Copies of this chain bind each other. A is one copy, B any other.
Amino acid sequence: MTKPQKMAAKATENAAKATAPVQNKRAAVLSAALGLFSRFGLHGTSVDQVAARAGVSKSNLLYYFANKEELYVCVLRELLEVWLAPLREFSAEQDPQQAITDYIRRKLVVSRDSPDASRLFCLEMIQGAPLLKGELAGELRGIVEHKSAVIQGWIDAGRLAKVDPEHLIFMIWATTQHYADFAVQVQALTGKTLADPAFFEQTVANVQAVVLKGVGVR
């Protein structure tokens, strides 16, 4: 088995049977790569920089990842799960007000705790999502259609005001991700970051308040 084949196999198997130290190295590289790619993009980041940040040599990095693009794709793959997780939990069994309240908080927690993931996702979208277009049209679309139907059900039952469910979802995504993607702007204008607990709670409360009132039936 040649090296690239081994690597490809490892990637598809989710690296199930690799040894622990190898996993640590891969994880370190992926984490370093996320941090840099999310700020400077694929072309704005050199393999050298990623290697340095991860504490490995460039050629060693290229032993684990066949080339820069493969590394980038691996990072994106991990990313998508982080990004999708909060949406999956959005449930039809809950009270609509509570479901929206919880969803907004979960998304803001991601913006606070994984701003890198949010930013790289945004970067990818801006560039036309060359590598995520497939997932968008497939998995994400399925989930969104399902959640939209749930929201539409609430509206038909008179539990929410008449809004287009997809626009409501976009609005929640936009307002919550804004605090990660435009963190510099938020900081320049308010002096605060989501890392500040008081500001975080204030943000959660404001977004929840406007959205809930905006779609409320009362």
Contacts and interface: CB of A to CB of B under 8 A. Distances in A.
Interface of A: 38-44, 119, 122-123, 125-129, 133, 136-137, 140-141, 144, 161, 163-164, 166-168, 170-171, 173-175, 177-179, 181-182, 184-186, 188-190, 202-203, 206-207, 209-216
A119 B137 CA distance: 21
B190 A166 contact: yes
A21 B144 CA distance: 50
Contacts of A216: 213
A186 B170 contact: yes
A163 B214 contact: no
Q: Is the interface of A mostly helix, strand, loop or mixed?
A: helix
Given A122-B126, A126-B122, A177-B174, A188 B141 contact: yes
Contacts of A179: 170
Given A144-B189, A189-B140, A206 B44 contact: no
Contacts of A215: 210, 213
B177 A129 contact: no
Contacts of A44: 41-44, 127
A206 B163 contact: yes
User: Which interface residue of A38, A185, A203 has the most chain B CB atoms within 10 A?
Assistant: A185
B42 A168 contact: no
Nearest to A181: B126
Contacts of A164: 202, 206
A173 B185 CA distance: 11
A33 to B, nearest CB: 16
Contacts of A210: 163, 167-168, 171, 210-211, 214-215
Contacts of A136: 184-185, 188-189
Nearest to A213: B214
A88 to B, nearest CB: 16
A71 to B, nearest CB: 16
Contacts of A41: 41, 43-44, 127
A211 B214 contact: yes
Contacts of A184: 125, 128-129, 133, 136
